Structures are given as C-alpha cells and as structure tokens.
Structure 1
Amino acid sequence: MTKPATTSERVINAQPLAEHRLSDKTLIIFDWDGTLMDSIGLIVDSMHVAGEAHGFETTDKAVKDIIGLSLMNGIKILYPQANDTQLLEIQQTYAEYYIANSHSTPLFEPIEHMLQTLQQQGKTLAVATGKKRKGLDRVLDASDSHDYFAITRCADESGSKPDPQMLTDILDYTQQQVSDAVFIGDSIYDIQMATALGMTSIAVNYGTATSAELAAQNPTYQVDTPQALVDLLCG
C-alpha cells in the first residue's frame, strides 16, 4: 500500500507542461516577506502598534491582505479615514517598531540551504518585494543574504505589486526571457504580478493569503510549506 504524502511533500495544482518545467527555469525570482523570511507576525504587530498609536484600529486579516503592496499603499487601504499627516505618522511609527524588532524575523528554516542548492545548480536568483530599498537592504544584511541574489527590486524603485515592472526590470537586467523565469510568492498580488507577464508562478500557502485565495489566482504550482517549496525547486 502506498504511503500517503505528508503535508510537506504535497504540491497542489502542479502542471507538468513543457513550458512550465521548473528544471528548465534559469531565473528564480522570490518575494521576500512570508516567502523567504518568517516576518508576517512582526508586520501584523507593527501595523497594529502604528495604527493604534494614532487612533486607528484594524484586524490581523486586514493587515495580512495588504502585505505585498508598498507600505504606504497598504496603510491607505487600512486607514482610509486618515489624513496625509496621519498617514505619514503611521508609516514612521510602523518603521520604528519594525526596525527595533526585526531581529526576530529569521529566514524559514530550509530556505538558506535551498538558496545554496539553487546557486550550485547554476540558477540565477532574484528578489521582487513590496519593501522599500532601505528596508530590504537592512534584512539582507541581517540575514547575510546579499550574495545569493543577482538583483533585487523594491516597490519604491519599480512600483507596487501587482504592477509587473519589478519583474520586467529583473528580466532586463539578467537578459532572460519570461519563459526562463519562475516567480514565487505568498500573496494574491504576487501571483497577479506573474500572471500579468505570463510568467510561471508558485504560490506558497504558509504566508499571508489562504490556500483558497491563492488558488483563485490560478498559480502554476501551489505548495503548503517551506520544505515543499524546497522539494519542488531543488528536486
């Protein structure tokens, strides 16, 4: 009798078409928060602290739903009643709290080994994130991850997701085609961004969005855990 797959072994919605074969992809592009780094909890806490400091409240689910967007775009969605001055104050309070507590956001346990393995296989690695450049550089330094990535692009350089400009910039820089690349992310905006270019996508269920929310975006692949992502990309 065949042993049933464990959660970490399960891949959902895999489409083994020739144009989607991951072994043929030479450019692997990752979202950061909730995909490579276990930072969702800190993002949610930071937004609650920032909003409440200026008289506004929201829910955990609402905060998770804006992760992936640029910070200011997300704040505007969460607190539409805030004026321009209040929006800037919320952004500043958020940044101060997040920076002060960012030591508590490690990479997911199997991720660094995955990055090393993909490099050894000759893959070009990149990041496309809703973070600002200053924020991404800070966490790249803290996790000693700079050297894994040929290029990283941020929302304040290329526009907020789901605008695909970040992916276009990465393709231009690496001189690779859409068909050479795969994008991995945990939010609906990530999958929408890849879909806008017709790029192969992997949705990860362990970040911001639920499995059902991600499935509704029709990613090429969908996985439950960081280990399942490692197995899919490196197997």
Structure 2
Amino acid sequence: MAQQQFDLIVFDWDGTLMDSTRHITRSIQSACRDLGLPVPTDEAASYVIGLGLRDALQIAAPTLDPSDYPRLAERYRFHFLLKDAQIELFDGVREMLAELRELGYLLAVATGKSRVGLNRALDVAGLGSVFAGTRCADETFSKPHPAMLHELTRELGQDLMRTVMIGDTTHDLQMAQNAGAAGVAVSYGAHAAGALSALEPCFVADSVGTLAGWLRQHA
C-alpha cells in the first residue's frame, strides 16, 4: 500500500453511505404538492439534497413565502418518516467502513441531515460507534460553507491538508474546496457525474466497491 495521504476521511450521509436519494426527492415533491406549490422535477428536487433543510426548501420551492417554510418542512418530515426505517446502506458500505477503521483512518460524517435525523439513522444502521465525529446542518453552517470540515478537524485534532471529503453532490465538493481539503465524488447518488467531474475531485467513483478500491490504493 502506498504511503497514506489522509488521516481523516469524512463522508456525506444521504446518497453516499445511505441509499436515500430517491426517497428524499419524493418527500420534497410530496411536501410541495401538499401545500399546492409547483412540484419540482426529479432533477431539481435531488439537486438540493445535502443542503440544510431550510436552504433546500428555499431552492425547491422558490415561490413560497418565508413565513410558510415551517409548514413545508413539517410536510417534508412527515413524508420522509413514513419510510425512513426502510432505507438501507448501499451494498458494501459496512464492509468498507470496517476496513478503513482497521487500516487506522479516522472516520467522520458531515451531512445536511438534522442531528435528530442523523442520530436516528446511525442507530438504525448500527454505525454509531464507527465515526469519531459528526456534524449536521442544524448545528452549523450548511454546505458548501466550510464550517463542518473546519469544526470536525479542530475537534479531532486533524490537518485539513490530510483530510478528504467524500460525497455525492457538488455541495460536498465545493465545501471541500472552500475548506482546503481534498474531495472525492461518488456518482451513484444525487448529482450527475458530469457536474461532479467539473469540480475536479481527486476521483469519481461509480460504486461503493470502486470507492473502496480507490481508498485502499490512494488514501
């Protein structure tokens, strides 16, 4: 194995580790439908995945009066929670994380989910003890602001130059750039491979297996 480039590997959650992109997209669309708003296309609804909920809904429903954001957020949560417990990790994620820990990497999560939502997902997946640190959008600035990565590296005593952010959206890659960290993209989530590649990540993985292989050889 080549000399280790990174000490800290930070993962996005939805669309990167958890196969939740389609469900989030449908929940956004259903919430807009409930309030009689124009229903965003699949592409428009999936674009906002990874952002904090308020930022996401502002973009998904641009005609909504800001005073009604809480109503839209409530309807989104209603639809999302209907099938939340049925969402599973992508195949190979559990094994990849176990291997990375065995190799000595610190692992963390930076997500647009709320703290309550991430804790629930970690508990259901049985991954609560896997990550040395986690940061959620309702605790700090939403992506692509670099705060999540700044805070995680300070908390864990790590160097941003030896940190890599892995995610399925341009928001993840832009956050990595803004923070001065490396970025790796996965194209099996919310954003298209072309949009991800345009931001010049270190690598674009088309599957969890491909991602695990690249990390094994290059991280």
Structure 1 unaligned blocks of 5 or more: 1-20
2:185 pairs with 1:197: no
Q: Conserved in 2, the CA contact under 8 Å of 1:203 and 1:219?
A: yes
Q: 1:39 aligns with which of 20, 24, 42?
A: 20
Matched residues, percent identical? 37
Residue type of the partner of 2:166? I
Q: 1:48 aligns with which of 17, 29, 35?
A: 29
Write out per-residue CA displacement over residues 113-153 of structure 1, whole angstroms, 9 at most, x where no aligned residue.
01111111111100000111111111111111111001100
Partner Cα distance (2:85, 2:137) in 1: 22
Pair 1:22–1:100, CA change in 2 (3 A)? farther
Q: What's 2:119 paired with?
A: 137
Partner Cα distance (1:100, 1:148) in 2: 27
- Secondary structure (helix, strand or coil) at the match of 2:184 reads strand
Q: Conserved in 2, the CA contact under 8 Å of 1:65 and 1:209?
A: yes
Residue type of the partner of 1:200? A
Q: What's 2:128 paired with?
A: 146
Q: 1:160 aligns with which of 120, 123, 142?
A: 142
Residue type of the partner of 1:199? A
Equivalenced residue count is 215
Larger RCO (CA under 8 A, 6+ residues apart): 1
Partner Cα distance (2:195, 2:123) in 1: 32
Q: Cα offset for 1:22?
A: 7.8
Q: What is the Cα-based RMSD across aligned positions, in Å?
A: 1.2
Q: Cα offset for 1:158?
A: 1.5
Q: What's 1:176 paired with?
A: 158
Q: Cα offset for 1:180?
A: 1.6
User: Computing the radius of gyration over CA atoms, which structure comes out larger, 1 or 2?
Assistant: 1
Partner Cα distance (1:104, 1:232) in 2: 29
